[in-house]
Amino acid sequence: MGKKLVSLENIIFRYEGQSRNALDDVSFDIYQGEWLAIVGHNGSGKSTLAKLLNGLQFAHSGTIMINDQIMTEETVWDVRQKIGMVFQNPDNQFVGTTVQDDVAFGLENAGVSQQVMVERVHGALNKVKMNAFLNQEPHHLSGGQKQRVAIAGVIALQPDIIILDEATSMLDPRGREEVLETVRELKQENEITVISITHDLEEAAKADRMIVMNQGQLYREGPPQDIFELEEELIALGLDIPFSVKLTKELQKNGVRVVNGHLTEEELVKDLCELHSMM
Amino acid sequence: MRITLDDVEYRYQVNTPFEHLALHDVNISMESGTYTAIIGHTGSGKSTLLQHLNALLKPTKGRVFIGDRTIEAGKKEKLLRPIRQKVGIVFQFPEHQLFDETVEKDICFGPMNFGVSEVEAKKLARKAIVQVGLSEDILVKSPFDLSGGQMRRVAIAGVLAMEPEVLVLDEPTAGLDPRGRKEIMDMFYDLHKVRGISTILVTHSMEDAAKYADDIIIMHQGTVFKKGTPQEIFSQPEQLLELGLDVPDTVRFQLKLQKELGVRFDHPCLNIGDLAIEIDKAMKRGNR
């Protein structure tokens, strides 16, 4: 595990006019270079966490440390240079009239020189494989392409951390895979830390570590392997388990002796093939 | 109520430089009391098709039969209101359309627009709110004080209160957590079974299509690529994958396993129980 990049300590947050804390004494750490999936039912506090990490809201008590800097209203601008965020709705995060203008927007805000800006815009669009669309207008793009442009806008600022706040939930299956593949490649090449807030359990299964939120509290954290062993408990929390875990259970019920803990279909297929060859 | 599309074509912005053919040669029929899923990826024409089902769009060629009404290209139609009442559409993220002070007023808006009295509309609102699994005391609240999942249900109640005979659902579970998704889909299935509402589900989810629909229509590049029962549609999964469409998890797994084991199951498994049984059989046949 990499070094500690973010740490949250005893975070409490409540939205105005609500009777219940949206985040209720939440503490955890995020390590450099990991892919952390945060899952939980609607209203469990996942998105509030993202807003706090990016300084869109501030905790009522507790501290957030990002790269040894405490998040306050004074430091938020520094912190935002380290954390980029991709939101759910591809149509709500376009500001430029063309793809390259859109990616340049954040850089302009950060006061980057023209020459560096051109380099970074092109570089970022290359990385998300959208360089062929430089002068396209956003509404001609598919949802997956729009999200990739949003990601380019984020990585042009060279952040340490990318937060995906349900960034694939409005996309069709093809768009979803496109976006996740892009983020996986970025993570590998640039050692970016990824925090993915998601309902997609198949995606979470591929994370390095998971956090399960429930009613504003951290319910459990650990590698996907351990988390998905909770099975029924997760379902009771309004979540689900990956297909390969469900099928494993069903097979065992039928007396097929597959072993537990296959988080991907490939592993389960392999296990079945081995069993089959021993028959 | 039966809806039939006969040789339907639709072009956006005809006679402008932006003219765009969105639908062509669409021939489909959705029988009364059935559950139909319409599948296809973004840009396949699903949304354009959906808007023909209650005459929000009129075909630029061909005819649409909605119950005893005919919507025909080139003919001016009057009195579309009864069609809109009988065919209710739940659009994507319907909670974005909530607007009134209270949940009750919001739900009553639709029926009152169709000429129902206020007293009657309030009765319908009470009935609808229960149907979507919420309690009556939510009626006095502001829709904007509710959680996302509750708002979605209230918006759906607004459509149900118009007592439609056909319910068209456009990605009704987008953005919900797994439990919310299942609850909403089961609720629509109950309405379909108990009240006999014809249901047309527009979705990306092959799981839902396989689980709930009697018939599946696959749209591709503006026209019908394939139609049939789930068993028929998923008996050639390779075809769908080539189009870049998904297949249900069970079918995808079956495909991978068949390839690795060099066997072939005699039918596509559409639920996990069936898949486990078929795998068990294949294992028992062993390497012989």
pLDDT of B37 reads: 97
Structure tokens at A257: 């002796």
In angstroms, what is the C-alpha Rg of chain A?
A: 20
Structure tokens at A231: 């099975």
CA-based nearest distance A254→chain B, Å: 7
- pLDDT, tens digit (0-9, with 9 covering 90-100), for B95-127: 989 999 999 999 999 999 999 999 999 999 999
Structure tokens at B152: 């979605």
Residues within 8 A of B (CB atoms), A 95-134 only: none
Q: Which of A105-114, B8-17, B174-183 has the highest mean pLDDT?
A: B8-17
Angstrom distance (rounded) from CA B268 to CA B275: 8
Structure tokens at A72: 């306050």
Chain A residue numbers with beta carbons less than 8 Å from the beta carbon of B148 are: 42-43
- pLDDT, tens digit (0-9, with 9 covering 90-100), for A258-275: 988 788 888 999 999 988
CB pairs under 8 A between A and B: 106
Show which residues of A are catalytic: 166
More confident residue, A191 or A4: A4
Residues 6+ positions from B107 with CB-CB distance below 8 Å: B121, B124, B125, B128, B129, B139, B154, B157, B158, B161
pLDDT of A1 reads: 66
Taking CA atoms, what residue in B is nearest to A264?
B253
**Which of B241, B283, B285, B287 to mutate against chain A (most A CBs within 10 Å)?**
B283
Mean pLDDT of A143-148: 86
Residues within 8 A of A (CB atoms), B 97-156 only: 145, 147-149
Average pLDDT, chain A: 90
Q: Taken in order B222, B226, B229, B234, is the CA torsion positive or negative?
A: negative
> Could you tell me if residue B257 is left (phi over 0), alpha (psi between -120 and 50 degrees) or otherwise beta?
alpha
Residue B210 has pLDDT above 90, yes or no: yes
Q: Rounded to whole angstroms, what are the CA distances from B82 to A33, A79, A214, B72, B286? A: 58, 56, 45, 17, 61
**Which of A39, A170, A239, A243 to mutate against chain B (most B CBs within 10 Å)?**
A243
pLDDT of B147 reads: 81
Cβ of A247 within 8 Å of Cβ of B283? The answer is: no
Cβ of B147 within 8 Å of Cβ of A43? The answer is: yes
- pLDDT, tens digit (0-9, with 9 covering 90-100), for A186-196: 898 888 999 99
Mean pLDDT of A9-25: 92
**Which of A276, A278, A279 to mutate against chain B (most B CBs within 10 Å)?**
A276
Q: Rounded to whole angstroms, what are the CA distances from A157 to A52, A85, A106, A109, A148? A: 20, 11, 7, 10, 15
Residue A139 has pLDDT above 80, yes or no: no
* Residue pair A237/A41 in contact by the 8 Å Cβ criterion: yes
pLDDT of A140 reads: 77
Residue B288 has pLDDT above 60, yes or no: no
Structure tokens at A61: 């008590």
Mean pLDDT of B132-137: 93
Domain ranges of chain A: 4-241, 242-279
pLDDT of A16 reads: 87
pLDDT of A189 reads: 86
Mean pLDDT of B277-286: 88
Cβ of B178 within 8 Å of Cβ of A169? The answer is: no
- pLDDT, tens digit (0-9, with 9 covering 90-100), for A73-107: 999 988 888 899 998 887 877 888 899 999 999 88
Percent pLDDT > 70 in chain B is 99
Which 3 state secondary structure label does DSSP give A93? Answer: coil
Diameter of chain A measured on Cα atoms: 67
Cβ of A276 within 8 Å of Cβ of B287? The answer is: yes
Cβ of A169 within 8 Å of Cβ of B174? The answer is: yes
- Considering only the beta carbons, identify the residue of A40, A88, A174 that sits closest to B244: A174
More confident residue, A114 or A110: A114
Give the pLDDT band of residue B287 (cuts 50, 70, 90). low
Give the pLDDT band of residue A177 (cuts 50, 70, 90). confident
- Residue recorded with tokens 């990049």: A5
CATH 3.40.50.300 fits A4-241, yes or no: yes
Percent pLDDT > 70 in chain A is 100
Please give the backbone phi and psi of residue B101, each rounded to the nearest 5 degrees, phi first.
-65, -40
Cβ of A169 within 8 Å of Cβ of B261? The answer is: no
* Residue pair B60/B241 in contact by the 8 Å Cβ criterion: no
Taking CA atoms, what residue in B is nearest to A240?
B178
Mean pLDDT of B235-249: 89
Q: How many residues does chain A have?
A: 279
Mean pLDDT of B87-100: 91
Residue A159 has pLDDT above 70, yes or no: yes
Cβ of A269 within 8 Å of Cβ of B260? The answer is: yes
Mean pLDDT of B57-80: 92
Mean pLDDT of A199-223: 94
Q: Rounded to whole angstroms, what are the CA distances from B32 to A127, B202, B239? A: 50, 17, 29
Chain B residue numbers with beta carbons less than 8 Å from the beta carbon of A255 are: 280
- Considering only the beta carbons, identify the residue of A169, A253, A277 that sits closest to B276: A253
Mean pLDDT of A173-177: 82
Angstrom distance (rounded) from CA B209 to CA B219: 13
Helix axes B272-285, A243-253, angle to 10 degrees: 60
Mean pLDDT of A24-28: 97
Cβ of A256 within 8 Å of Cβ of B280? The answer is: yes
pLDDT of A17 reads: 81
Domains located in chain B, CATH noted: 3-247 (3.40.50.300), 248-288 (no CATH)
- Considering only the beta carbons, identify the residue of A173, A175, A250 that sits closest to B276: A250
* Residue pair B143/B159 in contact by the 8 Å Cβ criterion: no
Residue B6 has pLDDT above 90, yes or no: yes
pLDDT of B43 reads: 78
**What single string gives the DSSP state of each residue in chain B?**
--EEEEEEEEEESTTSTT-EEEEEEEEEEE-TT-EEEEE--TTSSHHHHHHHTTTSS--SEEEEEETTEEEETT------HHHHHHEEEE-SSGGGG--SSSHHHHHHHHHHHTT--HHHHHHHHHHHHHHTT--GGGGGS-GGGS-HHHHHHHHHHHHHTT--SEEEEESTTTT--HHHHHHHHHHHHHHHHHH--EEEEEES-HHHHHHH-SEEEEEETTEEEEEE-HHHHTTSHHHHHHTT----HHHHHHHHHHHHHT---SS---SHHHHHHHHHHHHHHTT-
Cβ of A265 within 8 Å of Cβ of B253? The answer is: yes
Residues within 8 A of A (CB atoms), B 199-228 only: 204
pLDDT of B258 reads: 93
pLDDT of B190 reads: 94
Contacts from B222-227 at CB under 8 Å and sequence distance 24+? B222/B21, B222/B22, B222/B23, B222/B24, B222/B44, B222/B45, B222/B48, B223/B23, B223/B24, B223/B25, B223/B26, B223/B45, B224/B25, B224/B26, B224/B27, B224/B28, B225/B40, B227/B28
Residues within 8 A of A (CB atoms), B 49-108 only: none
